[in-house]
Amino acid sequence: MRRSRGHGHGYTGRMDDALRTSTLGLRTVGWSFALLAGTALAQLAVVAETGSVGLLGDTIHNMADALTAVPLAVAFLLGRRPATRRYTYGLGRAEDLAGAVVVLVVCASAALAGYQAVSRMLHPEPVAHLWAVAGAGLIGFAGNELAARQRIGVGRRIGSAALVADGVHARTDGFTSLTVLLGAAGVALGVPLADPVAGLGIAVMILLAVRHAVRDVLHRLMDAVDPATVTLAERTAGEVASVHSVSRLRMRWIGHELHAELAVSVPAEITVAEAHRTAHEVEHALCHAIPRLATATVHAEPFNQATRAHATLAHHNASH
């Protein structure tokens, strides 16, 4: 189950919402790809005329940003497929793997931009049409900022860490594009090395920005969840009538969906049907209280004084 707006909580409703979010993600990836590819091609035309290595570094990175849309698009397409007997949770994990691919592509673009900058320092060449270089830097900033707004907005809306990370990265790239302006200004003032220094600065800024994306991707791959979300889940489940305590709560992200498993203790004297009803109420409460929670598997356990004493003894033995 998940929080819904205007549709049911059953399996069909969950599938409809999953298709809706993946479709939105695909549309966003497509638009941002077109935007960044157009930006990179426009910059590449200026590079061919001016020979600016600073602009070349920015162009390489913008093209790499456009290409990161490919693994994201594949991941969203795979995430639309239903679960099978082999992949019982579906293929949503492909989105987390796509995030790892994005990080690798970004690191490779930083290495290439750095290599080009160092090469130009060792073998200087004149830069022509400085106003065109400056204009191309502004184009890079605008293209990245528009792509960042699309990716971050939709990524937060559908709970996609990979899409948000890619959007934050695009926003940082927009500011690195402004470094091209500094390089052009330096050359105009009679400092030829300003252009390759700007290219090297772009490579360094890319690496500094990507470290946050690396952290987020690793957290997802290692099933990390915000502790505040775990606390909220425990409190929400514990507030349901007939629930004495909550234990063995586990949560994990699969793509842009959150899944939970937990056990709740209920009075030993109630019927199986009543225990099942309580478990269903816990699931319903959790899916309404926690954003992006798709499913909650709830196990109901009998609670009585003997059970409590046994649990206390087990805890005491474990602590020693």
Residue 70 to residue 179: CA distance in whole angstroms: 27
pLDDT in tens, 246-276: 999 999 988 778 999 999 999 988 899 999 9
Q: What is the pTM of this model?
A: 0.64
Q: Tell me, what's the pLDDT at 8?
A: 39
φ, ψ of residue 101 in degrees (nearest 5): -65, -40
pLDDT in tens, 188-235: 788 777 777 877 777 787 777 777 778 878 888 888 999 999 999 999
Highest averaged pLDDT of the listed ranges 39-53, 54-68, 163-177: 39-53
Q: Which domains does the chain have, with CATH numbers?
A: 11-221 (1.20.1510.10), 227-319 (3.30.70.1350)
Q: Is the dihedral of CA 86, 91, 94, 96 positive or negative?
A: negative
What residue ranges in the chain does DSSP mark as E strands?
Answer: 245-254, 257-267, 293-303
Contact 52, 184 (CB under 8 A): yes
Place of tokens 């793997």: 97
Nearest to 22 by CA among 134, 159, 136: 159
DSSP state for residue 3 in the 8-state scheme: -
